[in-house]
Homo-oligomer: A and B are copies of this chain.
Amino acid sequence: MKTLQEVDDVVLDFSRQQRIGLPEAVLCEGKTAPQLVRILQLCEQNKTAMLLTRLSSEAFRLLPGKWKKSLDFDPVSRTAFFRKPQMAAGVSRVAIVSAGSSDTRVVLECQRTLAFAEHPCTVIQDVGVAGLWRLQKRLKEIAAHPIVIVVAGMDAALPSVVGGLVAGALIGVPTSTGYGVATGGHTALHSMLASCAQGIAVMNIDNGYGAACSALRMLNSFERLR
């Protein structure tokens, strides 16, 4: 019988950027260290940059030193860049707004995915509605962006309030912040889906990467329509 190492278990989609304008990325959760090494080897051979998501500090630690050094790794967002992209200058078209500082890990996953695609963005954190003055102080700045990503856990009331005040495209990212009925983020998810504000498009729980991709799809369309 073939051993795991001999099995051909990784097929990378190097044409994705060209086909749909989104960068190739790899979800590391559930993958073994040998699988991750094979993926990085394929990228190296192919001279391609790669975004790694859900790479825990533990999984990063298990990589061989050579590959560890090749990565720009951020432990809070659990993301890594293979072949770091040039940071984009220019106008920020995306605002990432969060309800609390416990949402930082999701905010950073989103920000770093946009950065990997060479898009700058504006980050405005800890402006949840329990202290409404925090949001009101930053509202004009938020509303100036054509795309607003709202990251919130627990009751996720923030996107409903933002949605009633801001005209641009709105993406909600529920987080698994909280305990009791908030555990796992399902309350935040359902709250966003059932929002009394119109036209909030919602991502999976903690999916900052997906929110960035949704924003990239819109930015692609903006470019095309110019």
A13 to chain B minimum Cβ distance, whole angstroms, is 4
Closest to A16 in B: B131
Given the interface pairs A130-B13, A146-B225, A202-B202, the reply to whether A20 lies near B165 with Cβ below 8 Å is yes
Interface residues contributed by chain A, number (CB under 8 Å): 117
Number of copies: 8
A87 at the interface (CB under 8 A from B): yes
Considering the complex, give the chain B residue whose CB is closest to the CB of A199.
B213
State the CA gap A87–B8 with chains docked (Å).
20
Contact yes or no, B170 A214, CB < 8 A: yes
A45 at the interface (CB under 8 A from B): no
Choose among B123, B161, B217 the residue that contacts A129 (Cβ–Cβ < 8 A): B161
How distant is the Cα of A189 from the Cα of B205 in the complex, in angstroms? 13
Is there contact, CB below 8 Å, between B130 and A198? yes
Q: Which listed residue, B19, B131, B168, touches A167 by the CB 8 Å rule?
A: B19
A-B contact pairs, 5 of them (CB 8 A): A167-B220, A179-B207, A181-B186, A218-B221, A222-B222
Known A100-B196, A190-B191; 8 more pairs at CB < 8 Å: A11-B127, A99-B196, A155-B196, A157-B160, A168-B221, A181-B193, A182-B194, A194-B204
